[in-house]
């Protein structure tokens, strides 16, 4: 029997959704935040561009609503979008009250920028291009100072715990990755805020921790997982020959005037969409892939030359420094870019309070699918969704009664002894997701990808249990969800493009 801990709210994941949820748990209730590594390791931490919300006097939640629906290609849940755009501005205000250091203009007001798909300037940012890091730092500090919140690092989620009679989720089992010991944490409500699945792709902007652990565990527990075919490819990740690394070059660069060009300097987005470089992300990514195919080049280029380096360094310190590391002075040189996996629009199906179909289990942020993103997420709506639905989950948990006393079903851990080559399996998985479930899909490619996936699943059978092994099982689980969803969705829509079908939007 593992060591056992009890709390009111168990939050799995210490990105923006998890931290903001914790800060919204009613203080008499106690809350444990568990993170696989630490608060510096999440997609939220790496988020560059900003948080979209109708906070400028010229803007209106109605315009934000419309832009979100257009980007989502007709598949957004309109009620959830209404909640997002109406409640978002006050959550951004809450961050300001917590002293998140948003960038200001010369008049001391919020500096607000534009990104793809937005018809108005509505993206607030911090640290120039380090919005995630600056926001998470502040929230983590506040959380650490709150008497009712405990943050536990290096706890790897193994599985969710369910009540033997009611089937409700009443906690989760973890492995302490430092000691290898197992611990159960029991709670009256559990929030999954475990982030995305980017690492199943070879080329992704996501950190190494983005292996879909929460989604895989939710699926094993019987939660509905939905819309996994909708994978967002960010148009502009730094392209470095001979490297799979995909450092993000924020869309905010285009918001501040950067143009997409071919090697000879010609702009190709002008003819592709009325919003040109600021078209919705799926449109820009497809246009780049088409341009690459047309020219046979492995990348296209972002051009923000002609501005003083000092100005670019002030506005985009992280990007300027990263590019300089590779010998690219963005004030003078074109930046080589190509699309990379960036975000999952699907996830654990979640309602307006982020509740899943399993009572007491909630999912928000990238691991949840509230339906606000439809088939393609509008730029910088992800951090907003973390705030709005993280808070809503917390509010709902705060009103939950204690679960019935009774037995809990503990997961049975695999007892195999084989030591498969995990790195090789992950590399093959990356390749097959990239080719079979990339930005352009064919039915044949998806089917072949599924066959290859089945071989990798077989390779993992009877493997000896370890953190890396279980993480790989999670990656295979979520990859299977993606492939199955790709096969089911017959039409091309938003970020899902499948050969031989008509494009809906
Ligand atoms: C970016 O800065 O381009 C990414 C922000 C986002 O994913 O919305």
Instruction: Quick: pLDDT tens for 109-143.
Output: 999 999 999 999 999 999 999 999 999 999 999 99
Q: Which atom of ligand 1 is nearest to the CA of 129?
A: 2
The pLDDT value given to residue 14: 97
Q: Are 174 and 182 within 8 A, CB to CB?
A: yes
**How far is the centre of ligand 1, averaged over its atoms, from the C-alpha of 49 (Å)?**
5
Task: Tell me what pLDDT residue 420 has.
Answer: 97
Token code pair at residue 460: 């993992």
Rounded to a whole number, what is the largest CA-CA distance in the chain?
Answer: 69
Give the residue whose CA is nearest to atom 6 of ligand 1: 380
Q: What is the mean pLDDT of residues 149-156?
A: 97
Nearest ligand 1 atom to the CA of 131 is 2
Which pTM does this prediction carry?
0.96
- Cα(7) to centroid of ligand 1, in Å? 34
Q: Is 380 in the pocket of ligand 1 (CB under 6 A)?
A: yes
Distance of CA 236 to the CA centre of its chain: 16
3-state secondary structure of 308: coil
Q: Is 170 in the pocket of ligand 1 (CB under 6 A)?
A: no
Question: How far is the centre of ligand 1, averaged over its atoms, from the C-alpha of 46 (Å)?
Answer: 10
Strands 259-261 and 225-226: unpaired
Cβ neighbours of residue 256 closer than 8 Å, sequence gap 6 or more: 113, 304, 315
pLDDT for residue 130? 95
pLDDT of amino acid 143: 97
Centroid of ligand 1 to alpha carbon of 105 (angstroms):
21
Query: What is the mean pLDDT of the segment spanning 464-478?
Result: 97
Rounded (5°) CA angle 169-173-175: 160
Read off φ and ψ for residue 458, nearest 5 degrees.
Answer: -65, -40
- For ligand 1, the distance from its centroid to the CA atom of residue 434, given in whole angstroms, is 21
Any atom of ligand 1 within 6 Å of the Cβ of 237: no
Q: In the prediction, which pLDDT does 411 show?
A: 87
- Percentage of the chain with pLDDT > 90? 91
Q: Is the CB of 117 under 6 A from ligand 1?
A: no
Return d(Cα 345, Cα 481) in angstroms, integer: 13
Q: 503 pLDDT exceeds 90?
A: no
What's the rounded Cα separation, in Å, for the pair 126 and 48? 9
Question: What number does the ligand 1 atom closest to the CA of 48 have?
Answer: 2
Name the E strands within 258-320.
259-261, 300-303
**Contact between residue 138 and residue 58 where contact means Cβ atoms under 8 Å apart:** no
Residues 169, 237: Cα–Cα separation, whole Å: 38
DSSP E strands in 278-358: the ranges are: 300-303, 335-344, 347-349
CA distances from 245 to 45, 177, 206 (A): 17, 26, 10
Which of 252, 322, 339 maximizes ligand 1 atoms within 8 Å of its Cβ, making it the mutation to test the pocket? 252
Structure tokens at 244: 């799979």
Is 472 a pocket residue for ligand 1 (Cβ < 6 Å)? Answer: no
User: Is 43 a pocket residue for ligand 1 (Cβ < 6 Å)?
Assistant: no
- Residues involved in catalysis: 281
Question: Using 50, 70 and 90 to split pLDDT, how confident is the model at 245?
Answer: confident
Q: What is the mean pLDDT of residues 397-409?
A: 89
Give the count of beta carbons closer than 10 Å to the beta carbon of residue 257: 11
pLDDT of residue 346: 98
Centre of ligand 1 to C-alpha 26, Å, is: 31
- CB of 382 sitting under 6 A from ligand 1: yes
From residue 293, alpha-carbon distances to 133, 283, 290, 296, 297 in Å are 35, 15, 5, 5, 7
251 lines ligand 1 (CB under 6 A): yes
How far is the centre of ligand 1, averaged over its atoms, from the C-alpha of 308 (Å)? Answer: 24
In this prediction, residue 404 has a pLDDT band, given cuts at 50, 70 and 90, of confident
The answer to whether the CB of 279 is under 6 A from ligand 1 is no
53 lines ligand 1 (CB under 6 A): no
Instruction: State which ligand 1 atom lies nearest to the alpha carbon of 382.
Output: 8
Of 135, 127, 160, whose CA–CA distance to 43 is shortest?
135
């Amino acid at each position: 029997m593992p060591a056992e801990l009890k709390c009111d709210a168990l939050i799995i994941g210490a990105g923006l959704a998890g931290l903001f949820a914790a800060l919204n748990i009613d203080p008499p209730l106690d809350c444990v935040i568990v993170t696989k590594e630490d608060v510096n390791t999440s997609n939220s931490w790496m988020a560059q561009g900003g948080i979209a919300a109708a906070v400028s006097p010229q803007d209106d939640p109605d315009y934000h609503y419309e832009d979100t629906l257009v980007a989502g290609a007709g598949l957004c849940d309109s009620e959830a979008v209404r909640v997002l755009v109406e409640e978002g501005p006050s959550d951004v205000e809450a961050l300001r009250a917590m002293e998140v250091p948003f960038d200001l203009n010369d008049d001391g007001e919020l500096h607000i920028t534009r990104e793809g798909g937005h018809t108005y300037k509505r993206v607030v940012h911090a640290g120039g291009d380090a919005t995630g890091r600056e926001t998470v730092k502040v929230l983590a500090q506040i959380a650490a100072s709150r008497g009712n919140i405990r943050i536990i690092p290096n706890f790897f989620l193994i599985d969710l715990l369910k009540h033997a009679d009611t089937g409700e989720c009443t906690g989760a089992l973890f492995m302490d990755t430092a000691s290898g010991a197992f611990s159960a944490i029991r709670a009256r409500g559990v929030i999954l805020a475990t982030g995305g699945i980017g690492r199943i792709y070879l080329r992704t902007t996501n950190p190494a921790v983005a292996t879909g652990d929460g989604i895989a565990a939710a699926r094993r527990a019987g939660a509905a997982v939905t819309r996994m075919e909708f994978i967002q490819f960010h148009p502009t990740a730094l392209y470095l020959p001979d490297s799979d690394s995909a450092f993000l070059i924020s869309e905010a660069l285009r918001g501040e005037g950067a143009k997409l060009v071919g090697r000879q300097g010609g702009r190709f987005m002008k003819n592709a969409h009325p919003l040109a470089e600021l078209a919705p992300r799926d449109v820009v990514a497809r246009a780049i892939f088409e341009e690459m195919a047309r020219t046979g080049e492995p990348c296209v280029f972002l051009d923000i030359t002609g501005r003083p380096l000092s100005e670019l360094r002030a506005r985009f310190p992280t990007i300027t420094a990263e590019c300089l590391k590779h010998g690219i002075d963005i004030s003078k040189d074109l930046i080589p870019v190509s699309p990379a996996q960036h975000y999952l629009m699907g996830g654990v199906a979640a309602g307006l309070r982020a509740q899943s179909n399993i009572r007491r289990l909630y999912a928000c942020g990238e691991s949840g699918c509230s339906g606000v993103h439809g088939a393609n997420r509008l730029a910088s709506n992800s951090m907003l969704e973390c705030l709005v639905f993280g808070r809503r989950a917390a509010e709902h948990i705060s009103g939950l009664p204690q679960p019935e006393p009774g037995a809990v079903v503990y997961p049975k851990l695999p007892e195999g002894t084989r030591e498969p080559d995990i790195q090789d399996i992950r590399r093959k998985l990356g390749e097959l997701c990239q080719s079979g479930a990339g930005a352009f899909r064919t039915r044949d490619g998806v089917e072949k990808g599924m066959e290859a996936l089945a071989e990798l699943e077989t390779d993992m059978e009877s493997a000896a249990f370890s953190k890396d092994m279980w993480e790989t099982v999670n990656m295979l689980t979520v990859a299977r969800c993606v492939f199955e969803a790709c096969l089911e969705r017959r039409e091309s829509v938003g970020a899902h493009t499948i050969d031989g079908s008509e494009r809906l939007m």
